[in-house]
Structure 1
Amino acid sequence: MPSRVEDYEVLYTIGSGSYGKCQKIRRKSDAKILVWKELDYGTMAESEKQMLVSEVNLLRELKHPNIVRYYDRIIDRTNTTLYIVMEHCEGGDLSSLITRCIKERRYLEEEFIMRVMAQLTLALKDCHRRSNGGATVLHRDLKPANIFLDVKQNVKLGDFGLARILNHDTSFAKTFVGTPYYMSPEQINRMSYNEKSDIWSLGCLLYELCALSPPFTAYNQKELGEKIREGKFRRIPYRYSEELNTLLSRMLHLKDYLRPSVESILQSSLLADLVADELRRAQARHRRRSADPEKPKPAESSTTPTIAALRLKEQVLRHREKALKEREERLEQREQELCVRERLSNEKLARAESLLKSYNLVKQQKALPLLYSNEMDEGEENVSPGKKVHFAGESKENQRPDQKQSVKSQELGLKKRLQAANMRAQALGEVERLYQLKSWQILGIR
């Protein structure tokens, strides 16, 4: 039997917005404290109604200890009002916590921030990597006001009103939605974006938990967009560790493909122990539910935390193995390129040496006629001046007046070729030395 508005008692209003309000309620059947979002869909456009339906369907599907739990929905067609019943988070939201810290002039402890990061990343992992094989879900509106705390200060990710479903890994969202302070550069530039856009918003949120202000602030949206595109921000206060600052800087990288994935964040040394604690708690909760005879046993399709942890480790190992294989292939390709270049440089060097040998040979051949002519001149000097001796080779018919010019031009040409060959040999020698140095470095890396 579907729930009715009369099944709940309204205690007080927590907050209100343009389309409705959020109220604290009590379920009359068991006095359980819950909240509902009261939304007037009568004034909504068709696209906004579709977005509302999508949020309800998403909340029904997403079941994770760090995501606000969905209980029920009530449709009041007479008053065109939709009530979404969800769990009550007694600790308020992170926006109120940051405001209190500013008033009290105090910073949050790094241990608390790391715990928030671990739980939020686990919640995002359930959205980005659906354990039931469903499509990827982008939250697209991560900000302190949408992150809630329960009575034990556990994080609860809520408000999936702007969430979008990506049906496969190659899908990219293109719509301009979200809160400007936490928008990624690709959203500001109206480019396609994927789950790495949520990583940017998560980095902005965690930065604000540390510094008590967003990493990018401005007086208008145009100036804010320019600052986000530039990507420069101050370091978080030095009370926080360098490892945390480095991780936040990676999450706020301008190039989305260089930002870490949810798996990479969870595997960092900062969060490893916290993630292990969260998995142990989930395992303990699962054992308690199994031991409670009144509660139904979980569906066979839902995996236990231990299996989930093993699958996570398996995915991590596969990812690392794939990365190492790709790196090895790149290094092998690079080595092959260097070998080809080295072979070409050796061939060019051999050609230069051949040219040098040819030049030396031609130079020696040119020196022989000159030596012979000198000997002939000496012989003529020994002849008495009274007698003029004529040789057959000195007749006008046998003389070549352009012989000396051709020899000189040939000599100049050979000198130029020798200089060019020497320069090329020096350049090739330098290139060969650089390639050998790079190949040694690559072999050292491998």
Structure 2
Amino acid sequence: MPKTTAKLEDFEVLVTIGSGTYGTCKKIRRKADSKVFVWKEVDYHGMTEKEKQLLVQEVNLLRELRHPNIVRYHDRIIDRTHSTLFIIMEYCEGGSLADLIARKRKEKTYIEDAFVWQVFHQILLALEDCHRKREGVHKILHRDLKPANVFLDKDLNVKLGDFGLARILHHNFSLAKTFVGSPYYMSPEQFTEELYDEKSDLWSLGCLVYELCALSPPFTAPNQRVLATRVRDGQFRRIPHTFSSELQSVIADLLQTKPSRRPSIRELLESVSQHTTLSPTVQRQTILANLTGKCERKLIQREDIVREKEKALAERERRLIAREKALAEKERLFHKDTHVYRRSPLEPMETNS
């Protein structure tokens, strides 16, 4: 791992966001500049050597991935006293797609069609970067693509995260054969423990986009055995008719049970980009107008105002500190360079007689 200069005392913990198999995710603030991040606290005390190697691999993967639609890695801190690794990453203010789906399910409303296309497009761009060859490192499969692992920034742009189950393929035709991932989003070839490649990530993407539309996965079952059967059959209901037939068609292409029949990322990008032609600013305004309710829009606007006020207060405080330092230095120089006569308490006072 690379050397780091960050220390635990450089940050303050704001709130716990969530927890997973190995890690607890917390929102933190850097004391030096008040910049907000998240860190994943990973307790490696009880890990096997293989699990520790996987942990090192995850951190190394995060360092390699530099893409606007992938959660950005910033630093890591090792607390050997408590056998804990702190992985510091970009904070995504918009939460996860799982949060959004849960909220829409509760409200009994659907996500805006334009937003689904935008998410679809940006995840494809992130996967394209993962699947490309790198010097010394070749293709990276995510292997756990699901709504809970896709985050949104303050402008509602996608940030693909949690590469804990990622696997590096060191040859063009290398295939993986490990039963990992969340069952609802696993491909048929993973269920049958066959060899699989990047087309497996595309199946998971199809399940994710379907859930964005229908607010539930395309394949559900009371147990994993029944789920495996339904996934292998590949039969699923149409997404709600509020969504376009083009979206239904591309989801069907992704959920082909035979990997060879699924389109490539390049083919998908050519198709999906036709539905995301608006500028990012116009897209955000359109999506916000439909994705959030009136109260939520006011809350977002209020948060923007508070954020600007916080910046102004921080700048004002910085100027006051600088001014106090300048005054203190001026006073120090005055006492150093100027002789001030002080009367002894025993010296008689002058009187007018």
Task: State how far apart, in whole Å, the 2-side matches of 1:21 and 1:127 are.
Answer: 25
Q: Does 1:231 align with 2:234?
A: yes
- 2:45 match: secondary structure: helix
2:114–2:276 CA contact under 8 A, matched in 1: no
Task: State how far apart, in whole Å, the 2-side matches of 1:22 and 1:217 are.
Answer: 28
Task: State how far apart, in whole Å, the 2-side matches of 1:104 and 1:135 are.
Answer: 43
The alpha-carbon deviation at position 231 of structure 1 amounts to: 0.6
The alpha-carbon deviation at position 197 of structure 1 amounts to: 0.1
The alpha-carbon deviation at position 175 of structure 1 amounts to: 0.6
Q: Match of 1:274? A: 276
1:118–1:275 CA contact under 8 A, matched in 2: no
1:35–1:85 CA contact under 8 A, matched in 2: yes
Q: Match of 1:165? A: 168
Q: Deviations over 1:56-84 (max 9, x none)?
A: 00000000000000000101111100000
Alpha carbons of structure 1 residues 277 and 256: separation in structure 2 relative to 1, 3 Å: farther
Q: Deviations over 1:337-382 (max 9, x none)?
A: xxxxxxxxxxxxxxxxxxxxxxxxxxxxxxxxxxxxxxxxxxxxxx
- 1:34 match: secondary structure: strand
Structure 1 unaligned residues grouped into runs of 5+: 282-446
1:8–1:27 CA contact under 8 A, matched in 2: yes
**How many pairs does the alignment contain?**
278
Q: Does 1:89 align with 2:92?
A: yes
AA in 1 matched with 2:161: G
TM-score by length of 2: 0.76
Task: State how far apart, in whole Å, the 2-side matches of 1:276 and 1:149 are.
Answer: 18
Q: Does 1:36 align with 2:39?
A: yes
Q: Deviations over 1:220-260 (max 9, x none)?
A: 00000000011100111111111111110000001101101
Q: Does 1:174 align with 2:177?
A: yes
1:266–1:275 CA contact under 8 A, matched in 2: no
4+ aligned runs moved over 3 Å, structure 1: 130-134, 275-278
Structure 2 unaligned residues grouped into runs of 5+: 284-353
- 1:2 match: secondary structure: coil
The alpha-carbon deviation at position 49 of structure 1 amounts to: 1.1
Task: State how far apart, in whole Å, the 1-side matches of 2:187 and 2:231 are.
Answer: 7
The alpha-carbon deviation at position 134 of structure 1 amounts to: 3.9
Alpha carbons of structure 1 residues 79 and 133: separation in structure 2 relative to 1, 3 Å: closer
Task: State how far apart, in whole Å, the 2-side matches of 1:62 and 1:274 are.
Answer: 24
1:16-415 aligned at under 5 Å gives the runs: 16-130=19-133, 134-268=137-271, 270-272=272-274, 274=276
AA in 2 matched with 1:194: D
Q: Match of 1:327? A: none
- 1:42 match: secondary structure: coil
Task: State how far apart, in whole Å, the 2-side matches of 1:194 and 1:3 are.
Answer: 37
2:137–2:168 CA contact under 8 A, matched in 1: no
Q: Match of 2:16? A: 13
Task: State how far apart, in whole Å, the 2-side matches of 1:169 and 1:253 are.
Answer: 22
More helix by share: 1
Identity %: 60
Task: State how far apart, in whole Å, the 2-side matches of 1:141 and 1:37 are.
Answer: 17
